[in-house]
Amino acid sequence: MKVSYLMKIRNRLFSSQYYLPLFIFGVSSLFFGCSQYSTSGLSVGYHNLTAKYNAYVIARDKMKEADIALKKNRKENYNQLLPILNPLDSMEAKSVDALLQDVIKKGSLIPDRHQNSRWVDNALVLIGRARLYKGQFTDGIETLRYVNAKGKDDDDKHEGLIWLMRAYVETKDYNSALSVAEHLRSLPLNEDNTRNFYLVKAYLHQQKQEYPLALGILEETFPLLSKNEETARIHYSAAQMYDMIDKPVAANVHYKAVSKNRPSYDLEFFAKMNSLQNEALTDTKISTEDGFKKILNDRKNSDLIDRLYYSMGVIEIRKKNYKKGLAFFGKSVRETTINTSQVPYTYLEMAKVYYDKLQNYELAKAYFDSALVLLPVSSPQRQKVAERKDVLDDFVKQITTIRTEDSLQRLSQMNPATLDRYLDKVIDDEIAEYKRKLKEAERLVSQAQSLSANAANFDGNPADRFPLYDLTMVNNGRVEFRQKWGNRQLEDDWRRSAKIASLLSPSDNNITAVSSAQGTGTNIQMMGDDLAKLTKDSPEWKAKKDALYRNIPLKKQELDASNQRMEDAYYKLGKIYKFNLEEPENAIKTFETTLSRFPNTNYKPEIYYLLFLTSVKNNQLWKEKLLAEFPNSSYTRLLSKNGGITVAASGNIELEALKDYEKILMLYQAGNYSEAFAQLEMAMVTYSGSKIEDKYALLRIYLLGKLQGKEAYLKALNSFTKDYPTSALLPRVREVLESQQSTSSKKNG
């Protein structure tokens, strides 16, 4: 009876009349109870679980995978200051674009489908990071700002603010980054966020070149860092900054800490090199060769020999042993193998020694040229090298003109018979030099053929054979070389030979002068067999000698033209010394030489004025000469500010300021930026306080943009708004600034 009764109840419950309503009720309860808008425990638990494992964990792991891939692909340049945090480079991020897209796709599911879960803020931070990696800074910044405004979890909001601060640093919006930093300082950060905040803050000050501040923050950060390669890298960066502020002992503490934090082999190697440099600097008893002997003999360092010699050169330069240091730099270049990344920095150091220490500007120019050709486009030193190279190009041009014209004029003073014999000797020497190089080339070819024959029985893999053993490979290399560099003569330092021939050639400057002038006029150029077969008194010999004669100023008109070229060169050289190289003593010497050699020069009033500005001991003498000889000159009137002359005596100062401004503006419009800048710097001192001082300042900004690039241009524009707050030109400056910021935002977007 009981069984039968229960069966009836079951059948009635599961009949269509009762089952369908129960089924609908159950499904509805489940659906509405798990809505993303519901706050019920069942709904929140469901969305927390689904959001975490179906979206957030996947997005987080994809981001980690992208970070690992970027770290693996990144090539560090240990010759440059390592940034504390690796800059976000959208070009590098293209290699992980698919992973970043997955991060954004999976992360977006959470705010779209699981709004009541606890993972919304985390997902938005990941999305913001991915957009920053991709270079979409505008979208990334908006996402991170949204997290701060609408986020629920404090730790997640703090993480979002730290990445927002990082985004502002990457876009060079340092004021906004500092504002975020000030806000974060007042918040109770957890350990992870504290560590990351300190790193970003230190990175901010490093990018602003405020190295003591960056180092102070890093010293507080190191106890929070784990032992790993990234920490070793940050120690290396800290050591480099200590070196930059001339604290080698503190730098060595961090160089030695690198090896304690699981560094890569290269990172540890460069840390040891720099540490040895500092030890040799602080302890002069340590011999450079002894300090490096063990590392040089280690076969693991065979591909880093060039870097070792470079470090040895740096040590000797720091000890002021310039000749020995340059010898080590030369060895560094010669020992370079497959990896040539060290070469441009070695050339750069050699250029600095010749420029700053030895004042040998011709050689400095040659090495700056070579460094500029090889420096990576992204190198922060490239702009400064280019600027210095432009100055030295002009400098060497004037020096070469003076030497050439001086030598040619000395030749013009010879009696005809002596000059005729001398030119025969010039041609003889040229033929002998060609034959010497030809024999050297034949010897090298013979040596290569011998090596090839000796390698004929090579049983190993052909790919392992030394390339110069294989004549086919040698010929292919020769063809490739000619396609890239042209048909070069066989000579040492071929890339620089044309630029520094006068320094490396024989002692007879007259030969150099005649040879260097051969490219002018109607000179006959002979190469190869034609030159080797040239015989004395043949028509070809006579034609070549006639071409050499045409370079020598034998007639009065030619001599006058030569003197004018030399006069112009001396005048320009003096201004380069004063305004570009900032060497007042050499400027004074050059100006005085100009006056003694060319007493009737048209540049005399300007030279008097420049000597008045430059010479501390004799400025009164040059002032009196200017007043006595050129009382009505514009340079005399310029003394109104510098020499105590009244405005009435010098005329209307405002009118003079306007006239000089128009002259400088014409130079600017003609593209003569260096000359315009030199005159402008002098005029701004002279007309300080005039009504058009702001016009001078604005023209200076435009010239800075032309000579030093966009960053200097924008920095000067910002300074203008502070220095001239009442200027009528201020609206135009602000308009330009807003336009630049708008353009930058569009590019980042």
Question: pLDDT tens across 16-73, in order?
Answer: 444 444 444 444 444 444 676 666 777 778 878 888 888 889 999 999 999 999 998 8
- pLDDT (average), residues 289-295: 73
Burial 477-508 (b: 16+ CB within 10 A, else e): eeeeeeeeeeeeeeeeeeebeebbebeeeeee
Token pair belonging to 125: 């931070």
Which DSSP letter does residue 546 get? Answer: H
- pLDDT (average), residues 485-496: 47
Predicted confidence (pLDDT) at residue 382 exceeds the cutoff of 50: yes
From CA 306, how far away is CA 312, in angstroms rounded? 10
From CA 567, how far away is CA 569, in angstroms rounded? 5
* DSSP collapsed to 3 states, 63-109: HHHHHHHHHHHCCCCCCCCCCCCCCCCHHHHHHHHHHHHHHHHHHHH
- Lowest-pLDDT choice from 253-257, 475-479, 676-680, 737-741: 475-479
- Lowest-pLDDT choice from 292-296, 574-578, 691-695: 292-296
Percent of the chain with pLDDT over 70: 78
From CA 647, how far away is CA 626, in angstroms rounded? 17
Give tens-digit pLDDT for 101-128.
Answer: 999 999 999 888 888 888 999 999 999 9
Handedness of CA 632, 638, 641, 642 (dihedral sign): negative
Whether the Cβ atoms of residue 578 and residue 614 lie closer than 8 Å to each other: yes
726 vs 371, more confident:
371
- pLDDT (average), residues 230-241: 95
The CATH architecture that domain 652-749 belongs to is Alpha Horseshoe (1.25)
From CA 232, how far away is CA 149, in angstroms rounded? 36
Task: Please enumerate, as own/partner, the contacts of 613-616 that have beta carbons within 8 Å and a separation of 24 or more.
Answer: 613/642, 613/682, 614/578, 614/584, 614/587, 614/588, 615/584, 615/588
Whether the Cβ atoms of residue 567 and residue 594 lie closer than 8 Å to each other: yes
Give tens-digit pLDDT for 296-306.
Answer: 777 777 778 88
171 vs 735, more confident:
171
- pLDDT (average), residues 61-86: 90
From CA 63, how far away is CA 66, in angstroms rounded? 5
Provide the mean pLDDT of the chain.
Answer: 79
Residue-level pLDDT at 105: 93
- DSSP-based helix, strand, coil % in the chain, nearest 5: 75, 0, 25
- pLDDT (average), residues 383-410: 87
Handedness of CA 436, 440, 446, 447 (dihedral sign): positive
Residue-level pLDDT at 251: 93
- pLDDT (average), residues 172-177: 91
- pLDDT (average), residues 438-461: 64
3-state secondary structure of 610: helix
Q: Where residue 426 falls among pLDDT bands split at 50, 70, 90?
A: confident
Residue-level pLDDT at 160: 94
Token pair belonging to 576: 């380069």
Whether the Cβ atoms of residue 469 and residue 455 lie closer than 8 Å to each other: yes
Whose CA is closest to 336, among 367, 363, 310? 310
- pLDDT (average), residues 351-355: 90
Q: Where residue 98 falls among pLDDT bands split at 50, 70, 90?
A: very high
Predicted confidence (pLDDT) at residue 651 exceeds the cutoff of 60: no
Burial 56-88 (b: 16+ CB within 10 A, else e): bebbbebbeebeeebeeeeeeebbebbebbbeb
- pLDDT (average), residues 74-83: 86
667 vs 163, more confident:
163
Predicted confidence (pLDDT) at residue 571 exceeds the cutoff of 80: yes
- pLDDT (average), residues 719-727: 77
- Lowest-pLDDT choice from 118-132, 223-237, 461-475, 632-646: 461-475
Residue-level pLDDT at 498: 37
Whether the Cβ atoms of residue 179 and residue 161 lie closer than 8 Å to each other: no
- pLDDT (average), residues 590-603: 93
Predicted confidence (pLDDT) at residue 238 exceeds the cutoff of 90: yes
- What residue ranges do the domains of the chain occupy? 2-33, 38-133, 153-220, 225-283, 414-554, 652-749
Predicted confidence (pLDDT) at residue 237 exceeds the cutoff of 90: yes
Among 23-32, 149-158, 674-683, top mean pLDDT goes to: 149-158
Contacts of 487 (CB under 8 A, 6+ apart): none
